[in-house]
Amino acid sequence: MVQNQHQETPEFKAIQQKLESLQLPTPPIPKTPKLPGL
């Protein structure tokens, strides 16, 4: 994983979409440590 690079790469977008789809039932919490690798 690339660290400290906020680029809109397809992989990054896919990860974000996965997290969003997984967190649909839960309310949006700001600044939540979702990916320790990033």
CA distance 9 to 30: 22
CA 2 remoteness from chain centre:
13
pTM (predicted TM-score): 0.37
Residue 17 has pLDDT above 70, yes or no: yes
Average pLDDT of the residues in 4-21: 79
Average pLDDT over residues 34-38: 62
Q: What mean pLDDT comes out for the span 10-33?
A: 74
User: Which residues lie closer than 8 Å to 18 by C-beta, 6 or more apart?
Assistant: none
* Block residue for tokens 């990860």: 15
